[in-house]
Amino acid sequence: MMKSLYQSTRSVYGRILNTIFEKQNKKYLESGWKQDFANFCKLINQNPEDIISDIGKIDQTLLEFHVEKNGKCLESFYIVGSIRYLLEAKGCQNILEIGTGLGINTALMAQIAPSSKIYTCDLPTEDPAYQDSFFVLRKRDQNAFDTNISYLNIKTILKNSMYLFSEDLPNSFDLIWLDGGHHFPAVAWDFAYCYSRLRKGGILLMDDYVVEEERRNPITRKLPDSISDVEDLCNYISRRINETIHIFPRYPLAQKYVAMIIKD
């Protein structure tokens, strides 16, 4: 009963917010996005047109599915741009993803970097967090998940990320897309693992950096996926690592960002 009530509440708020988000997102994409994207491209020394061209080569069915499930989210540009940068620099042999979701970004990376090995980690069905969470996306569409992770260069690990240390994985990764649990303690142990395995010159991208103002918003805070501890984590680690943490817009109206670290 509680679950259906929660889903119903989320659906009502979702319909209201999606209407607002669509208008605001369109306005942002027509104005501020170009400058923010240019700043990202400058950081990684890439031509914006090259990244857009690469995205155009991705299977259109996958892109349409991405928009259908995630809206006009912008993380794909950062993932594709980071892969381009790494391939031109020291290579992109190993990629780690924590939080497979429906495997949309997993499939995207498999297409953009066919010579790379992609390791993606998601919760096993027997994990209590899998049973309790509405946001384990493959529960909603197992067929899409199975299709998206079927590329030969993808290895799927169904295990709580707390136990990744026990897995036989590469000693270092070139690119890491961190989109698992966004709350303490999970987000902290995920970061510790990822940062320790990120090679020098490698890129760590962390999804759902939600600013404090948004977390206090009386409307959107009713949606649990709008609440995240990633900003608090970044504030903590920024005083303890040498690298700069850059943030780039992911969903402008909701003040959601992608945090980025290039390891020194």
Confidence of residue 129 (pLDDT cuts 50, 70, 90): confident
Taking Cα atoms as reference points, which of 177, 160, 161 lies closest to residue 95? 177
pLDDT for res 73: 61
Q: Are 253 and 21 in contact (CB under 8 A)?
A: yes
Q: Do you know the residue count of the chain?
A: 264
Backbone angles phi, psi at 101, to 5 degrees: 60, -130
pLDDT for res 247: 93
Q: Are 52 and 11 in contact (CB under 8 A)?
A: no
Dump pLDDT digits (tens) for 25-45: 566 666 667 788 899 999 999
Q: Would you state the structure tokens that stand for residue 39, as one six-digit string?
A: 């700043």
* Domain span holding position 149: 2-262
Question: Tokens 């760590």 — which residue?
Answer: 204
pLDDT for res 33: 75
Q: Would you state the structure tokens that stand for residue 138, as one six-digit string?
A: 């493959």
Q: Which amino acid is at 72?
A: K
- Three-state DSSP at 2 gives helix
Confidence of residue 10 (pLDDT cuts 50, 70, 90): very low
Q: Would you state the structure tokens that stand for residue 90, as one six-digit string?
A: 């020291």
How is 207-259 classified by DSSP, letter by letter?
Answer: EEEE-HHHHT-TTGGGSGGG--SHHHHHHHHHTTSSS--EEEEEEGGGTEEEE
- Residue 11, domain CATH: 3.40.50.150
Tell me the whole-structure pTM to 2 decimals. Answer: 0.86
Whether pLDDT at 7 is above 70: no
Most confident of 103-117, 208-222, 239-253: 103-117
Taking Cα atoms as reference points, which of 91, 73, 92, 84 lies closest to residue 47? 84
Whether pLDDT at 223 is above 60: no
> To the nearest whole percent, how much of the chain has pLDDT over 90?
55
CA 195, 182, 168, 166 torsion: positive or negative? positive
Q: Which amino acid is at 147?
A: T
Tell me the Cα Rg of the chain: 18
Domains identified in the chain, total number: 1
C-beta atoms surrounding 124 within 10 Å? 12
CA distance 14 to 137: 16
Helices (H) and strands (E) in the chain, counts: 11, 7
